[in-house]
Structure 1
Amino acid sequence: MRHQDVDDVGLGARLREAAEGHEPDRSRILARLERGMAAQTRPDHRATRPPVFGWVRVVGATAAVASVLAIGGYAVASAVKSGSTAEQTVSVSPTPAATPSPDATSRTPTAPAAPKPSSGSGGTHSTPRATATPTTSASTSSSAPPVLPAASGTQDGPLWSDGSIDPGSNDFWAQSDVTLKTTKQLTSLTVQLKVKQTGGVTSSGAWRSLPEQDFTQTVTEQDGFLVYTWVLKEGRTVAVGDWVFAGQYNHDRGGRDAKDDSYSAAGTAAGRQLSVKGDFAAQKS
């Protein structure tokens, strides 16, 4: 047993012994009661009021404490609520305005992949498909276009030709195709397309299925015609095959009659001078 437990047992025993040995003084108790009763029977005795003010102070203090706690609780609840609201607020950046693409409003007309010869131009040959390079704008020149040698028709030896209006033409725009087919390599070549000024005819571009860097390309206006010219650069050659040269132009609204349009070409193959020419068989674009 611990020392503290021993002390507690001893103290309890002594207290019990003291209580058992105590005898109350009955005479002194009776005397106190008699004095108290005699005092209450005196005429000048005034009954004392219970100490209510002490209780009032206690109740008031309790109410004040309760009020403080209530106010503090409300403040804490408000702060917690405000903090929760702030945490739930999300900042959203504005949606950027969409910017329209230039391709949505304008587009350069593309060259056809398979030009077809016109049946009215005198040509009877079928031509393989020609792969064209992208459309480019022709450079405008103030100088007169070159004069080509006179030709007798659409074919001269290994060189054959045809003129046609591209089927993609419409009421405001057209494309004239000149197709050349050669069975021998050409060491020189000049191609010329003439479009009659029938009203509002203005160039909108030109292209050829041969490499762009191999040719000098110009557009001029002469004697009421829009003239497209392609000249093979010195040192370049044209391989065996069929090739397309196309002029693009705007015109007045409505079908355009191409009966006055024409083309011509001159080249050299194996040291021989070759020349061809043709028209567009009064086709309407």
Structure 2
Amino acid sequence: MTDELRGLLRESAESHLPDRARMLARVERGTARPGAARRPRDRGRGRTRTLSWPRILLATLATAGTLTASALTVVAVVHTPEPPRNPTAAAPTATGRAAPQPDGSRTQDGPLWADGSVDPHSNSFWAQSNVTLKAGEPLTALVVELRIALTEGVKDTGSWRTRPAADFDLSTREEGGFLVYRWALKPGRTVPSGEHVFAGQYDHAAGGRDAKDDRYRIDAATGAAGHGAAVWGGFG
């Protein structure tokens, strides 16, 4: 509803509000007429009946009440708020982008178990972070996201996984202070039950690197009904 239309409705409502002073004056004039209270009522058929002043008052008040209710109805319509135009979006599923990384850890959820670790073959200039996944049932949807904090010298040098590369869409990007590796299972593909590893490889500044801020998250679905499971955590 536009502001112009609201204004027109409000003016219309105000124009129908009863004038209390004018109504009371009309009632007083009716009661002050000579002989008004003594005039006998004509009960004959086909002739107009004269109303006494109490009935005039009641009719006037009833009319005023009707007009007031109508005016309030119009004003209520004018001020009715419009519904929100931007409803909250639905949360992502396991087949879409992984949800934001929460704090703490949850390493098991139903048939899904995971662990994060720095590969023992890492050295003073290069490292590999492994996300190990164990599935108790075949997975019909899977998103694995590995986040490496952008400490000094961190730069992507590659990635790998124990499952066939053709089964996944892989993306690597820098986002919010992290180097992010993301593997998403392609529609129609499945991951069998068992143990699987997803790894990101990167250079870093000389010396030991602290992995305390690195994170991982896995979102998966199992079975035809697509029952969801999610696990997340850090790196020891």
TM-score by length of 2: 0.56
Tell me by how many angstroms 1:148 deviates: 1.9
The letter for the 2-side match of 1:167 is P
- Structure 1 residue 249 corresponds to structure 2 residue 164: no
Counterpart in 2 of 1:148?
99
Counterpart in 1 of 2:138?
185
Task: Report the RMSD for the aligned CA atoms in angstroms.
Answer: 1.6
Counterpart in 1 of 2:219?
266
Distance 1:155 1:165 in 2: 20
Q: 1:22-171, aligned counterparts within 5 Å?
A: 146-148=97-99, 153-171=106-124
Q: Determine if contact 1:164/1:280 at 8 Å carries over to the other structure.
A: yes
Counterpart in 2 of 1:176?
129
Q: Pick closer, same or farther for the CA change 1:195–1:254 going to 2, 3 Å.
A: same
Distance 2:127 2:148 in 1: 11
Distance 1:223 1:265 in 2: 19
- Could you say what secondary structure the match of 2:172 adopts? strand
Q: Pick closer, same or farther for the CA change 1:149–1:235 going to 2, 3 Å.
A: farther
Q: Pick closer, same or farther for the CA change 1:150–1:262 going to 2, 3 Å.
A: closer
Pick 1 or 2: higher relative contact order, CA cutoff 8 A, min separation 6.
Answer: 2
Gaps spanning 5+ residues in structure 2: where? 1-95
Distance 1:221 1:276 in 2: 22
Counterpart in 2 of 1:223?
176
Q: Pick closer, same or farther for the CA change 1:214–1:187 going to 2, 3 Å.
A: same
Tell me by how many angstroms 1:258 deviates: 0.1
Gaps spanning 5+ residues in structure 1: where? 1-144
- Could you say what secondary structure the match of 1:257 adopts? coil
**Deviation readout 1:170-189 (Å, 9 max, x if unpaired):** 00000000000001010000
- Structure 1 residue 278 corresponds to structure 2 residue 233: yes
Tell me by how many angstroms 1:147 deviates: 3.8
The letter for the 2-side match of 1:248 is Q
Larger Rg: 1
Q: Pick closer, same or farther for the CA change 1:153–1:253 going to 2, 3 Å.
A: same
Q: Which has the higher helix share?
A: 1
Q: Percent identity?
A: 53
- Could you say what secondary structure the match of 2:139 adopts? coil
| Equivalent residue for 2:155, pick from 168, 180, 202 | 202
Q: Determine if contact 2:101/2:215 at 8 Å carries over to the other structure.
A: no
Q: Tell me the number of residue pairs that the alignment of Structure 1 and Structure 2 aligns.
A: 137
Q: Determine if contact 2:98/2:217 at 8 Å carries over to the other structure.
A: no
Counterpart in 2 of 1:85?
none
**Deviation readout 1:238-284 (Å, 9 max, x if unpaired):** 00100000000000000000000000000101221110001003xxx
The letter for the 1-side match of 2:191 is V
Q: Pick closer, same or farther for the CA change 1:274–1:149 going to 2, 3 Å.
A: farther
Distance 2:101 2:121 in 1: 31
Tell me by how many angstroms 1:149 deviates: 6.7
Distance 2:199 2:192 in 1: 19
Distance 2:131 2:194 in 1: 14
Q: Determine if contact 2:101/2:216 at 8 Å carries over to the other structure.
A: no
